[in-house]
Amino acid sequence: MESTKPARRKRRTSEEVTSRILQAAEAEFRQCGYSGATTAAIARKAETTEAQLFRMFSSKAALFREAVFRPLNDHLERFSSSHAVGSTNKGTRRENAELYITELQRFLSEHSQLLLAVLTASNYGQQDATGSEAIDSLNAYFEKGAQVQEQRVGEKPRVDPRLMVRVSFGAVLASVMFKDVLFPKGLADDDDINAAIIDFVLDGISANSE
């Protein structure tokens, strides 16, 4: 009787390993917060080793930042690839802008626990988690957003697109994260709040179209 050898697991690419680590990290940080999450637990969830994890991310803090912000960049990339973000048609541009702001609000709401973990880590002195090191994925998100702005408004915008994309993001983020504080019960329903956020962001963006 011939013995059967167990099938050898296919070697994963570095991109696949990175993706698994980030998915595991997002789940662990969401569940345990920054302090409670461990790189050992993240490595186990990703079916890899801590040594491999630290070859790809220099520290737990670096992994935390990427786990929080890379999905944001991926979301913009997917939206850009499926919508005519560089369209010269004003109607299409506005529809896309409204749709993206709506999706961004939903995305930030769905990831609010991780974003709250960032704020908590900062407020409680865990500066290694939220310090001044560059957050690659967040910077990539802003760069992509600025490129979309530049395509839309052309040369010599009145407001630097690099500033505009950050201010717009900050407005949406604050409205989502501090919704209960900013919009007390009875002031407006969710649809009115969302519409107000869209109008505010687009009115700000329109400064480049005058």
d(CA 165, CA 106): 18
> pLDDT tens, 191-202?
999 888 888 888
- Residue 18, both tokens: 């990175």
Q: What percent of the chain has pLDDT over 70?
A: 76
What's the pLDDT at 202? Answer: 81
Cβ(24)–Cβ(53) under 8 Å?
no
Mean pLDDT of 80-101: 70
The set of residues, in sequence order, having a beta carbon less than 8 Å from that of 19 and lying 6+ positions away, is: none
Mean pLDDT of 53-70: 88
The architecture (CATH level 2) of 59-208 comes to Orthogonal Bundle (1.10)
> pLDDT tens, 121-178?
655 545 555 554 556 777 888 888 888 777 776 667 788 888 988 988 888 988 988 8
DSSP reduced 3-state for 1: coil
d(CA 174, CA 62): 23
What's the pLDDT at 3? Answer: 55
Query: Predicted confidence band at 42 (pLDDT cuts at 50, 70, 90)?
Result: very high
Whether residue 50 is predicted with pLDDT greater than 90 in this model: the reply is yes
Query: Predicted confidence band at 16 (pLDDT cuts at 50, 70, 90)?
Result: very high
DSSP reduced 3-state for 87: coil
Query: Predicted confidence band at 119 (pLDDT cuts at 50, 70, 90)?
Result: low
pTM of the model: 0.69
Q: Please, where are the H alpha helices in 37-135?
A: 39-45, 50-56, 60-82, 90-110, 112-123, 127-130
Mean pLDDT of 87-101: 73
Cβ(59)–Cβ(143) under 8 Å?
no
End-to-end CA distance of the chain: 82
Provide the CB-side half-sphere exposure for 157 (13 A, CA): 22
DSSP state of 131: S
Supply the mean pLDDT for the chain: 80
> pLDDT tens, 70-86?
888 788 788 777 765 55
C-alpha distances (whole Å) from 138 to each of 13, 68, 70 are 24, 9, 7
Query: Predicted confidence band at 11 (pLDDT cuts at 50, 70, 90)?
Result: confident
How is the chain split into domains, by residue range?
12-57, 59-208
What's the pLDDT at 125? Answer: 46
Kindly compute the dihedral angle of the four CA atoms of residues 194, 198, 200, 203, in this order, to the nearest 10 degrees: -160
| CATH topology assigned to domain 12-57 | Arc Repressor Mutant, subunit A (1.10.10)
Q: Which amino acid is at 174?
A: A
